[in-house]
Amino acid sequence: MLLCQLPDDILYHILSYLDYKSLSRLSQVCKTTYHFVNRDAVWRKIAKEFLNTGITRNGRDIYPHIPLKERVKIAQNWYNGVCKIAAPIKWKIKLLPWLQLDGEVLFLSQAANIGAYHLRQDKGKVPRNPFAIYSGHNGDVCRFALTDSHLISGGSDGKVMVHSRRSNVSKELSGHNQEVNCLDARDRLIVSGSRDRTARIWTLDSSCPKYTITMYDRVWSVAINPTLSSFVTGTACCKNFSPLHIWDVERSECVCSLGSGFRRGAGVLDMQFESPFQLFTCGYDTFIRLWDLRLSPRKCVMEWEEPHDSALYCIQTDGNHMIASGSSYYGVVRLWDKRQTECLQFFQLTSDPVSSPVYCLRFSSSHLYAALATALYSMDFRHNPCNIR
């Protein structure tokens, strides 16, 4: 009996023992094995061990429209740091931009406006002109978040703007009396944090805050738990208290604080829930921390230190093994493998004499986009792809 005549379930079991190089060689034997080996089911186990293939820790596939074999190819470049860097959009004055990525659309804030750009599917390039612009703030946009139906932004004018992504309808939510430093939104829930030392809970239907929580410090970051039952705030840590607090949404009460022994000024600038129990944070004290909310809140379960003692302005994870971080000096982007303690790859996006932080970064399966003070940078990891046939 020939190999290709075996039942599919037996073939899958046999091929599960092969690495990606052996699978690539096997696919060159004949057309029948080529078509079988190229199936996503064959590559799924291998893809889960690589960086940013779109297979999350719980097995969900983020990019089902892209063949897994192609994603494993590109994953070699993420691991080895092979990419082509470009600056598709530049501006003349220094800004504090923010960005979000939703499929093939990139959203970028510049001053008081947010532009939406269609990414070119063949090359992943960003066009110079947006196809849509969201406005309404009287000052700079500080942060914004996306839901399936809305774009919600917070600005230096203290306003929260809710824009429909399906029509031209927008509405203003007023409540903060100073700039809205941070904002998160999931489904119909919105949480904002401000320099006025308050966090406010809103809904898409509300015209005023559902709850207002008074803090002892400026709020730099917020993140809503995927269960929608709680959210986390990160403050400037100007007093001798933990900057991280978990709040119950319905009762607007503090559930607990995370960590202890933070030095003064160790403010938390960004955070991301990877699951309802796993939270990643970063900030001025140069550490990325992973918190498991099922365990003791006094200590994080893992941490990674920025080797050049730079503040970390932003992070994003792939839901599995990779973390990307943006540093406070010279546009430095770092890639981390959670299974290692040291930085995996380092990229300095700009050599300008005047340093700029990476204010925000987002990535897809093949590109990473980073927003600096005067430009949007793109990193194409399909450049010179690893030789998997």
The per-residue pLDDT for range 325-359, each reduced to its tens digit, is: 999 988 999 999 999 999 999 999 987 777 899 99
Where does residue 389 rank: exposed (0-12), middle (13-18), buried (19+ CB within 10 A)?
exposed
What does the pLDDT read at residue 311? 95
Distance in angstroms (rounded) separating the CA atoms of residues 50 and 165: 34
One fold for 3-79 and 86-380: no
Q: Which two tokens stand for residue 96?
A: 């504090």
**What is the homologous superfamily of the domain 86-380 according to CATH?**
YVTN repeat-like/Quinoprotein amine dehydrogenase (2.130.10.10)
CATH architecture of 3-79: Up-down Bundle (1.20)
Distances in Å between the Cα of 250 and the Cα atoms of 105, 184, 188, 197, 201 are 33, 16, 14, 20, 10
Low-confidence ranges of the chain (pLDDT < 70): 1-6, 8, 14, 121-124, 240, 384-389
pLDDT value at residue 3? 66
Give 243's Cβ-side CA count (13 Å radius): 26
Give residue limits of the domains in the chain.
Answer: 3-79, 86-380
Distance between CA atoms of 260 and 385, rounded to whole angstroms?
A: 44
b/e 274-308 (16+ beta carbons within 10 angstroms → b): beeebbbbbbbbbebbbbebeeebeebeeebebee
Burial class (CB within 10 angstroms; exposed 0-12, middle 13-18, buried 19+) of 378: buried
- The predicted pLDDT at position 387 comes to 52
The residue ranges of DSSP E strands in 237-382, in sequence order, are 244-248, 254-258, 268-273, 278-283, 287-292, 302-305, 312-317, 322-327, 332-337, 345-348, 360-363, 367-371, 375-380
Q: 34: part of which helix (H) or strand (E)?
A: helix 31-37
| pTM confidence score | 0.93
- Looking at residue 18, what is its pLDDT? 74
Retrieve residue 380's tokens: 């194409």
DSSP label at residue 3: G
